[in-house]
Structure 1
């Protein structure tokens, strides 16, 4: 995985992008309803018992396990349908290639690395063995990656996928779309030197199945990841990562979108391959 060309600052080795601003959030979590899992209820479901810790905690694995254990209602009764479908071509990611390397040996470079690592670890690529191995190898130190690969291979099992409503191989059931995205909201370096640094990344995330009949509708989560990075072979690499819940804002009075609307948005709007 190499540095993308779009938005690349050759003078400083930094990559920047702006996230969308304003407007109603079409991905807002379900409020109230049959399952009673909205606002505080959804966050309460992410209890500490649902967190799985391994060497270099993987963000998505923790969020997905919490999601799998929270249960969920069905979107099959949604009556509102989206209008024209957005072209699937829009799912092409920002940037020519995913950004996972080429960060500056500065405090801001370390924060950029941490934000990008959160995005990579929070994507649906972590649910496919080949792409998961590539992601873990690309952003961790060699010794950390070696230990983590085996643990993750044991964690991503058919039973784990089943709890998420997925097929045994991690794919979505026919007619449904698996959504897994992590969006950094902000970063902060709590310690820094040219060899090692610790960065906190405040994130929101989307995880669930979009489609008619889904029993695991797409929900929003809020969490903070504390990442320890080491300058290795000319770049920042992860040595460990930990996650905690929040800070989570009060949910707005926004109507939960229909299954079709969520599916259309996910297929029509590509996720970011880089942040900050």
Structure 2
């Protein structure tokens, strides 16, 4: 998507290239200061003509916005407190450190593989938004049956049927081929498909009774790992805004949008081989609960 806070109600940015600006998420390249490489910009990464595979996740956000009921609101705010949710005296004066872990004990319920039973308050809305971001950015979204289950577990029932239909059209055989998968969404032999969203932090933009708008700052991994992969696993940074509604004693998504960044400067870590990435994905399970 073009830089800015555009809502994903416009399908004009899509193309048949799974690495294009589908959903609008662009990969950010950062040149290092002079003196850190022979050409003044540090070691260059191999040139790639395609966009990050993580733009696949933009499909979800694109279609969510198509059924959006309202634009995202403005404002700010977030939760503070000790591990039991009780505000500390210093929090009342200056607020807790933005990088500090906060919150009460995680929910115990589940709707399929997705946590459920979030608290009917600001913190519960933030927890719900984080978990929904993880589920909607997962590998399971590329399989028809599991995709339907995720949409049903995370969205307002009033929009589920139409959204599932739109998503089935978006995840067409041609699209799946463009991202390196087989026509049915399965992964080619010898390769490991990676698609993970990892929430870094949350912020409540608006909260009033049975509605809330929460922003989730995320990093994501996506690509194909393994020998012979032509679509290496890359990382992307983005922020998802979710408009939530209290339905059936739990939070559900009413609409959603996505923007690029904030994106930090890339570190000096050596890029791992395709086999190392594949081994890490198989060896380290993703989180099912965030915040």
Do the structures match in fold with TM over 0.5? Answer: yes
Structure 2 equivalent of residue 127 of structure 1: 142
Q: Residues of 2 paired with 1:129 and 1:140: CA distance?
A: 16
Cα deviation per residue 1:108-143 (whole Å; 9 max; x = unaligned)? 000000000000101101011111000000110101
Q: Residues of 2 paired with 1:101 and 1:52: CA distance?
A: 21
Q: Residues of 1 paired with 2:161 and 2:248: CA distance?
A: 16
Alignment map for 1:156-235 (pairs within 5 Å): 156-235=171-250
Instruction: Please give the root-mean-square deviation of Cα atoms over the aligned residues, in Å.
Output: 2.7
Deviation of 1:55 (Å): 3.3
Alignment map for 1:110-125 (pairs within 5 Å): 110-125=125-140
Which is bigger in relative contact order (C-alpha 8 A, separation at least 6)?
1
Deviation of 1:238 (Å): 0.3
Aligned pair count? Answer: 206
Q: Provide TM-score, normalisation by structure 1.
A: 0.69
Are 1:275 and 2:290 an aligned pair?
yes
SS at structure 2 position matched to 1:203: strand
Deviation of 1:57 (Å): 7.0
Q: Structure 1 runs of 4+ off > 4 angstroms?
A: 49-52
Alignment map for 1:140-159 (pairs within 5 Å): 140-159=155-174
Greater Rg, structure 1 or structure 2? 2
Structure 1 equivalent of residue 45 of structure 2: 33
Deviation of 1:231 (Å): 0.3
Q: Residues of 1 paired with 2:273 and 2:63: CA distance?
A: 36
Q: Residues of 1 paired with 2:172 and 2:44: CA distance?
A: 32
Deviation of 1:52 (Å): 7.0
SS at structure 1 position matched to 2:64: coil
Confirm or deny: 8 A CA contact 1:56 1:239 kept in the other structure. no
Structure 2 equivalent of residue 55 of structure 1: 64
Q: Provide TM-score, normalisation by structure 2.
A: 0.66
Cα deviation per residue 1:1-54 (whole Å; 9 max; x = unaligned)? xxxxxxxxxxxxxxxxxxxxxxxxxxxx9x7333258xxx968x96xx999722
